[in-house]
Amino acid sequence: MLEAARAAGKGEAMARLAEDYPRGPHDQPQSMCPAFGSLRVGLRMRRVATILSGSACCVYGLTFTSHFYGARRSVGYVPFNSETLVTGKLFEDIRDAVHQTANPDEHDAVVVINLCVPTASGVPLELLPKTIGGVRVIGIDVPGFGVPTHAEAKDVLAGAMLRTARLEAEAGPVARPREMQEGLRGVSLIGELFPADPPGIAALLAPLGLSLAPQLPAREWRDLYGALDSVVAAAVHPFYVATVREFRAAGRPVVGSAPVGVEGTAAWLEAIAGAAGVEAARLDDAKARALPAIRAALAANPIQARVTVSGYEGSELLVARLLIEAGAEVPYVGTACPRTDWSAADRDWLAARGAHVQYRASLEQDMAAMKEVRPDLALGTTPLVQKAKELGIPALYFTNMVSARPLFGPAGAASLAGIVAAQTRGRERFARMVSFFDGVGTPDGAGYGFRERPVDPPGFRERQRKLRAAKAKAEEAVGT
């Protein structure tokens, strides 16, 4: 499909995706369809309509997942068949759908997302009009063979929107952000964060004389202007390379890592203060206010456990840092996201404390590390959690159980201890369950109605092997 996309005129787009999101050991994603990330960004914005162009089964799966995660609006869909795809009628249908959707009374922007088949067929979304009656039209290609994770697909749309907003701001006056604070210089956070984290970060910034600018991905179009108006952008999630590129084009410095734990918070405040030109006295005051409370929270919530961390959200390194500062042993950290400059400080900090950091980690690597380490608790993706529980290892799904908690400041320092303690207390119970159900539900013991493990008739497996070999030989003879 990648070669087909290049042959169909998408070579430049594929080259850009390959540069921004280099692939890892696998040539296709191991998590959900990447386009879900872009779809999610658009659906969470006010006055933004989204139209999908792709196979019906893909669109069904994406819309199902989006509504499962709380979307409360319709998703447009432009169906196609072989004829409309080959003749170019599909592009005309997309253009008609955009014109029908672009109502300035209802929308600030219409997002059109090409999935795998339209991208491989060269459907040229770049030929769509840039605006229709004042409504912006944003067309992006998010194929599974070009974007490795759904996390990075968030950046595809966030970066495309920020670019359009930056060009508008450079051209003249733009709409005022809804909650813009006069007289305060802002810091824009890059990454989807737990709702309680931005106010906590705002409290850390206040002694520096800085406020919180709108974060990206944004909640409405005018927030993009507010984000660009910041004095510093903070790449809390380190994979937003297209978004960072637009901030840099706007002349804004970008700071990596995040205010996690005592050491992480101190280093982050220093980086923010340096980028924003904040005087030393303010920085000392900010540290004096924040660090003792975080240190006390960590001391009150110690973690005595060996934990492996893996996931595809982009915050895995930050979670590992917090666990280590709380007293945990973290020998392995795997993230499906790529290695970038914005996680360099976290990578170095973890490596200095004996943690192996695996970027573009595959499920196989995560499982191998878990089996080797035999942790007290494994944080990871759904299949890893399933395997861990089969082995009697307590495990938690990273996305729903870890990302759904505060991570920064004193609240973050106290958030993980409870779930780690609750899960590790159940290890002995897991061991009893594995022993009790040994062999049940596994290949030879799967199914219902057996009081004991089924026994093959004598010679059954050998007869089946010979039948398979004879069938393969016959097929080979016919083929030649």
Asked whether residue 479 carries a pLDDT value surpassing 90, the answer given is no
Asked whether residue 159 carries a pLDDT value surpassing 60, the answer given is yes
Q: What pLDDT does residue 278 have?
A: 94
List the one residue out of 211, 213, 230, 203 whose CA is nearest residue 286.
Answer: 203
Percentage, residues of the chain above pLDDT 70: 93
310-362 pLDDT per residue, tens: 999 999 999 999 999 999 999 999 999 999 999 999 999 999 999 999 999 99
Q: What pLDDT does residue 68 have?
A: 73
Q: What pLDDT does residue 91 have?
A: 95
79-125 pLDDT per residue, tens: 999 899 889 999 999 999 999 999 999 999 999 999 999 999 999 99
Q: What pLDDT does residue 282 have?
A: 95
Distances from the Cα of 448 to the Cα of 280, 442, 467, 477, angstroms: 70, 12, 27, 40
Q: For the sheet containing 135-141, what is the strand order?
A: 76-77, 48-53, 109-114, 135-141, 131-132
List the one residue out of 289, 353, 348 whose CA is nearest residue 325.
Answer: 353
Whether the CB-CB separation of 388 and 379 falls below 8 Å is answered with no
List the one residue out of 295, 290, 274, 299 whose CA is nearest residue 202.
Answer: 290
CA dihedral 181→228→257→421, nearest 10 degrees, is 60
pTM of the model: 0.87
**What does the pLDDT average to over 404-432?**
80
Q: What pLDDT does residue 77 have?
A: 95
29-72 pLDDT per residue, tens: 777 889 999 999 999 999 999 999 999 999 999 988 877 777 77
Q: What pLDDT does residue 443 have?
A: 62
Q: What is the mean pLDDT of the chain?
A: 90
Given pLDDT bands bounded at 50, 70 and 90, which one contains residue 451? low
**What does the pLDDT average to over 364-387?**
93
* Residue 9 CB contacts under 8 Å (≥ 6 apart), including other chains: 122, 124
Cα 17 from Cα 242, distance rounded (Å): 10
Cα 354 from Cα 35, distance rounded (Å): 35
Q: What pLDDT does residue 252 have?
A: 97
Q: What pLDDT does residue 472 have?
A: 87
List the one residue out of 428, 399, 393 whose CA is nearest residue 306.
Answer: 393
Which of 39-43, 454-458, 475-479 holds the top average pLDDT?
39-43
163-177 pLDDT per residue, tens: 999 999 999 999 888
Given pLDDT bands bounded at 50, 70 and 90, which one contains residue 449? low
Whether the CB-CB separation of 121 and 61 falls below 8 Å is answered with no
205-253 pLDDT per residue, tens: 999 999 999 999 999 999 999 999 999 999 999 999 999 999 999 999 9
Given pLDDT bands bounded at 50, 70 and 90, which one contains residue 478? low
**What does the pLDDT average to over 408-425?**
83
Asked whether residue 129 carries a pLDDT value surpassing 80, the answer given is yes
CB atoms inside a 10 Å sphere around CB 361: 25
Cα 32 from Cα 238, distance rounded (Å): 20
**What does the pLDDT average to over 382-405?**
88
Domains and CATH numbers, the chain: 2-148 (3.40.50.1980), 185-296 (3.40.50.1980), 302-434 (3.40.50.1980)
